[in-house]
Copies of this chain bind each other. A is one copy, B any other.
Amino acid sequence: MRYAVLGGGKRVRPLLAFAAGEAAAKEPVLADPERLEIAACAVECIHAYSLVHDDLPCMDNDVLRRGKPTCHVEFDEATALLAGDSLQALAFQLLAEHRLCDEPQAQLEMMRILAAACGSRGMAGGQAIDLASVGQPLTLAELEHMHIHKTGALIRASVALGARCANALSPEQLARLDHYANCVGLAYQVVDDVLDQESSTATLGKTAGKDAASHKPTYVSVIGLARAKALAGELREQAQTALSSLGAGARRLSDLADFIVLRKF
């Protein structure tokens, strides 16, 4: 579990949770950094568990992650399976045993959001669609549907949990944040596909060109490199627009949208 979750990574989901907490904070309702830290840890535990399971031989069968052997290569498959299972449980334990917001009922809602984002109507369902899509000619809409679940659901949950630690936004403002999260979630995947095509294994810290080699549809294979890059730029614009009414507190969310689209790894 330590190897999987403490072994580096960009920490995009925790950063989004912290940034959303900052965007949602209003004097005198500041998002407590200790609360945000718990939410950030929970989403990163879920992300780490999903990578460990995703890398297993029966899934993507990958041997390299963050420049190091994947968990089942470093240990063994059974240990990787159980470490992933335990990281999922740990995420919910963290959210249940620490105070995250003033109202326990709102905290239950945060737990519901994360659980729904992880399950068959969220991340795990997206991975199932991903597996079923190998060798299939997907439309852009079908590809988007897959990624909204596979990557997007947890990114949306990261923003939603961070914002709810502050508990100062109106439903309408929360909806705008959610739209922002949707856009950066999709942009993240579009850029991943572009980098997978254009970058080296050394730069990425994971096996480059893997999706193409395993006949998985990607944004590059479905709409081409140029349109994929343009789409990432459009999603970045949309994300920034969604933040416009949230004021100066949303600066870090804005920076993160730029980072997600402009990153080189």
Contacts and interface: CB of A to CB of B under 8 A. Distances in A.
A119 B56 contact: no
Interface in A74-106: 76-79, 81-82, 84-86, 88-90, 92-93, 95-97, 103-105
A61 to B, nearest CB: 10
A119 B124 CA distance: 19
Question: Binding site of A, secondary structure by majority: helix, strand, loop or mixed?
Answer: helix
Contacts of A146: none
Interface in A1-59: 1, 49, 53, 56, 58-59
Interface stretch (A109-117, A196-204, A220-228, A244-252): A109-117
Q: How large is the interface on A (under 10, 10 to 19, 20 to 34, 35 or more residues)?
A: 35 or more
A131 interface: yes
B104 A81 contact: no
Contacts of A76: 58
Contacts of A140: none
Contacts of A95: 111
A107 interface: yes
